[in-house]
Structure 1
Amino acid sequence: MFYLMSQANEPQVNLPAHFAFACQLAAHHYQQGQKVFIATDNQADAFLVDEYLWQFSDDSFVPHQLTGEPPFYGAPVEIGWQRAKQRRQVLINLRTIAPEFATEFAQVVDFVPIDELLKQQARKRYATYKQWGITLATTQLE
């Protein structure tokens, strides 16, 4: 699923809109009993997502961990800039490229941010997913 971001999606925190929405989706999938991997480009982005999830909601906690942290059997939501350590149903991609391991997941979530450069990167990811045989859908976020 590709989510098309809009100006209305800009968060009230110092975090890119698609990162904040990725955290909301991770919480949703966790509540549905699914295990999630949030893929980032680098350690700094992973730490940013990790920190936001700690502060995410006053009334609900999303159990999560960075790749390689205990517990080694895996929290429901894993965040990393490398391949997931545990088998998971949902990949939420925050990378600028399509992760080479995307086909290992039952569901792939990606974003088309507002920024023009990030849109171009999203188009390339979309084409890559299609080449890999991943069925794609898009939805506009209001």
Structure 2
Amino acid sequence: MAVAEFHHDAQDKLRHACTLVAQWYRDGRRVWIHCDSEPLAARLDQMLWVFEPLAFVPHVRDGHRLSEATPVRIGHDPAAAPADAIVLNMAQSVPAGFEQREHIVEIVSRDPADRDAARARFMRYRERGFDMQTRKAEA
């Protein structure tokens, strides 16, 4: 059964995203970070290089010549995501083709507008039969 995992009450969504991605990388998982804007993709790209001084998370933006060989990719088109990748959805809507994904993760901040958007995504995943999981964000 496909899983939609919501991390709620994040103080800093980007930092929490980087922490999760670093853990998944250490666990040998492939990750697709779905962004709905170029500025957000650029911020995540930069933050993955510097968020932990001793951490190394190999990542590229989708379309890079090494994207097929890199375990963490950042992009706008979820159809380009590897089939076995965890999808970290940083967009305000569900990614296109989400029904074919096995594991989608959402991070929800304390901002009321962000919570409302997340509730709508939560309902959409639940309507499609995803196993819904929630946990408190640590960052």
Letter aligned with residue 4 of structure 1 = H
- Which residue of the partner structure matches residue 21 of structure 2? 26
- Which residue of the partner structure matches residue 123 of structure 1? 119
- Point out where structure 2 has 5 or more consecutive residues left out of the alignment: none
Distance 1:74 1:131 in 2: 34
Distance 2:22 2:55 in 1: 9
Q: Please, which of 79, 87, 90 is the counterpart of residue 74 of structure 2?
A: 79
In the superposition, the TM-score normalised over structure 1's length comes to 0.86
- Which residue of the partner structure matches residue 44 of structure 1? 39
Distance 1:80 1:116 in 2: 26
**In the alignment, is the contact (CA less than 8 A) between 1:68 and 1:85 conserved in 2?**
no
Letter aligned with residue 66 of structure 1 = R
Greater share of strand residues, 1 or 2? 2
**In the alignment, is the contact (CA less than 8 A) between 2:33 and 2:72 conserved in 1?**
yes
- Summarize the Cα distance change of 1:114–1:3 in structure 2 as closer, same or farther, 3 Å threshold: same
Alignment of 1:1-142 (within 5 A): 1-6=5-10, 9=11, 17-83=12-78, 84-141=80-137
Distance 1:104 1:62 in 2: 26
**In the alignment, is the contact (CA less than 8 A) between 2:13 and 2:109 conserved in 1?**
yes
Q: CA RMSD in A?
A: 1.5
Identical pairs, percent: 28
Relative contact order, CA 8 A, sep 6+: which one is greater?
2
More moved, 77-86 vs 27-36: 77-86
In the superposition, the TM-score normalised over structure 2's length comes to 0.88
Kindly tell me the number of residue pairs found equivalent between the two proteins.
133
